[in-house]
Structure 1
């Protein structure tokens, strides 16, 4: 499928999304934490990676298909889990789930987004992955995992890099910290963005759809914050992961790994994959960019566990850089949300098509015939 040539880059989509979204929603999507140092470092240091082309070698054409956990996907990238998607653009998780299924790439649903496990599974014919925020109560954990299993999710992703919520000054100013609040200023922002407002009226106020069965009815915003604090404990350890491994018979991945010790623990616990990530620069401003630990983790542990990456990837060349550095697969969150914010129902298809075209061009330029060959083009 061809992309809309008015928006031939993720930066173009970001600019258009900013024009169409209320400021509080755009800043929730776009911002990092503290002073945004690691947010910016994620992309800038990834783009320091250079690739070597071969121009005179025989070339049979480039194929972006890749196999991950026994499933062949059409491209080596997927849609990362993003919380509160429907707040940023109404119905966006469903738009993206449909697009991912249409283009045969993975879609990961977050526990705290605005569509349910069951709906995502319906839209993807049982192919969507699910990311679990670890609940405080084992009974709630077990019930959510059983729902993911009943929905035929092939991969369960457990999150380890949110032991506490990131300190995000924009969200605090905009009233999107916990507990959230809607100010007069926010209401005025909504009124200035009629497309966003009309779509919100059409699809309804966004809710934590997966969590609805467990939430008391009629919670106000302050009570919602208290419920979330009491319901989830983000800090993982081996004792919390072991029962999940025992219970989940599908592929189990941990997201947020940023050091060798955590990679080794994931291997010891029998996990199938790790996503090297710093939560898009939204948790620890003083941390490393994702490309730095990826290189050493992939080199040391890549033959023992499937190593993937997200955070900082904004283009087809960025996907190529991550794959050349050692990732077997990549995920993006903001890039796809910019697409939906810019183009609504067409945003998912457009963004995937754009990234596929960019990646195909890089492969042709390098004389790289298959995704697994990218490391051969890395300039070290």
Structure 2
């Protein structure tokens, strides 16, 4: 095995437990929490795990092949790293750690507009092999400039976020001072003092900031001013009128993330998207909403011949990936799972999660006697 797999942490849950011990409470709760009563974050995984597979043992079959083609490129496995905001707050240098791991293992890394590494830095680390997620700016000039930077850096795929028309109500973030506008309170300071490794890594890499957006901000903004600026700068509400100039400017592959209904999938086809990511923002936006696997099952039969259909939110293991793929998804993405890895193991966290998921998925495919990822729907218990 190219990477020395750490047998002390053989599951996402074991990485989560270690990450919780190494991260300040406010940072871990920002990563781990959903919204309101945290119902939909749990529902996502619970309902994925209701999907069952049926093996067919008595037939000739070869080794499991995890390679997956997506938008004309062949990736080593059918999973990638979701966009996550403020990654460097949760673990210092996290986006760079994960981008390097993704590039090494040949999987997609999606950079968020509001994370803590810039377009240019991630492009450098991945040789332009990355995706970029756009939070749609309110001003046309700003959108054009951000998209030009992504295009010039070699970005493979542009992902447009549609599921944040308003910020979710997240009680733990409000208590911890991480709502908009954010503020650091004394409780948070004491939490940092109790996590010396996190504090030392933060000193080493510097205070996290919105690196892609830094060139557009005034120098010397207070945290409160920054929060107000972010609220004024981004418009989460999308419609056909706002999407058209994005489609006109972006000549590469275009994906809509946050689709949770057949109606939005139909609109995505009309607006010229190449793919959709069925997602509910990791359960962080609408606690009263459906899990991701339910709309996926409805969307796939009607739209898979028109769009590449992917899923994000709730996937926590190799068996989960197999379950989602068996329901007809072309690809899967995970955010928290990878951040737990980095929080637990730092620089080695991305490699650990990728190797773990590979081993788990391969075992499932070999157990049901499935040779290719695209054939997993043949093993679905209906």
Question: For 1:18, what is the secondary structure of its paired residue?
Answer: helix
Instruction: Verify the 8 A CA contact 1:190 1:197 in the aligned structure 2.
Output: yes
Runs of 4+, deviation exceeding 2 Å: none
Deviation readout 1:349-370 (Å, 9 max, x if unpaired):
0110000000000010011100
Question: For 1:51, what is the secondary structure of its paired residue?
Answer: coil
Deviation readout 1:100-156 (Å, 9 max, x if unpaired):
000000000000000000111110110010000000000000000000000110100
Instruction: Verify the 8 A CA contact 1:162 1:283 in the aligned structure 2.
Output: yes
Question: For 1:157, what is the secondary structure of its paired residue?
Answer: strand
Instruction: Verify the 8 A CA contact 1:2 1:353 in the aligned structure 2.
Output: no
> Which residue is 1:261 aligned to?
263
Question: For 1:374, what is the secondary structure of its paired residue?
Answer: helix
> Which residue is 2:173 aligned to?
171
| Alpha-carbon distance in 2 for matches of 1:2, 1:205 | 31
Structure 2, unpaired ranges of 5+: none
> Which residue is 2:100 aligned to?
98
Q: Summarize the Cα distance change of 1:316–1:2 in structure 2 as closer, same or farther, 3 Å threshold.
A: farther
Query: What is the Cα deviation at residue 3 of structure 1?
Result: 1.9
Question: For 1:379, what is the secondary structure of its paired residue?
Answer: coil
| Alpha-carbon distance in 2 for matches of 1:318, 1:294 | 14
Instruction: Verify the 8 A CA contact 1:38 1:286 in the aligned structure 2.
Output: yes
> Which residue is 1:189 aligned to?
191
> Which residue is 1:345 aligned to?
347
| Alpha-carbon distance in 1 for matches of 2:122, 2:246 | 21
Instruction: Verify the 8 A CA contact 1:112 1:210 in the aligned structure 2.
Output: yes
> Which residue is 1:59 aligned to?
61
> Which residue is 1:368 aligned to?
370
Q: What's the C-alpha RMSD, in Å, of the aligned pairs?
A: 0.5
**Which of 137, 149, 152 does residue 151 from structure 2 map onto?**
149
> Which residue is 1:293 aligned to?
295
| Alpha-carbon distance in 1 for matches of 2:51, 2:176 | 36
Query: What is the Cα deviation at residue 2 of structure 1?
Result: 4.3
Question: For 1:331, what is the secondary structure of its paired residue?
Answer: strand
TM-score (ref. length: structure 1): 1.00
Query: What is the Cα deviation at residue 293 of structure 1?
Result: 0.2
Instruction: Verify the 8 A CA contact 1:157 1:254 in the aligned structure 2.
Output: yes
Question: For 2:257, what is the secondary structure of its paired residue?
Answer: strand
Instruction: Verify the 8 A CA contact 1:3 1:351 in the aligned structure 2.
Output: no
TM-score (ref. length: structure 2): 0.99
Instruction: Verify the 8 A CA contact 1:91 1:203 in the aligned structure 2.
Output: yes
| Alpha-carbon distance in 2 for matches of 1:360, 1:231 | 44
| Alpha-carbon distance in 1 for matches of 2:356, 2:342 | 13
Question: For 2:133, what is the secondary structure of its paired residue?
Answer: strand
> Which residue is 1:319 aligned to?
321
Question: For 1:309, what is the secondary structure of its paired residue?
Answer: strand
Aligned residues: 380
Query: What is the Cα deviation at residue 314 of structure 1?
Result: 0.3
| Alpha-carbon distance in 2 for matches of 1:373, 1:78 | 19
Query: What is the Cα deviation at residue 326 of structure 1?
Result: 1.1
> Which residue is 2:205 aligned to?
203
Query: What is the Cα deviation at residue 22 of structure 1?
Result: 0.1
**Which of 154, 159, 162 does residue 160 from structure 1 map onto?**
162
Deviation readout 1:134-193 (Å, 9 max, x if unpaired):
000000000000000001101000000000000000000000001111111100000000
Question: For 1:244, what is the secondary structure of its paired residue?
Answer: helix
Question: For 2:178, what is the secondary structure of its paired residue?
Answer: coil
Deviation readout 1:298-353 (Å, 9 max, x if unpaired):
11111110000000000000000000011100000000000000000000001100
| Alpha-carbon distance in 1 for matches of 2:245, 2:370 | 42
- 1:1-380 equivalences under 5 Å are 1-380=3-382
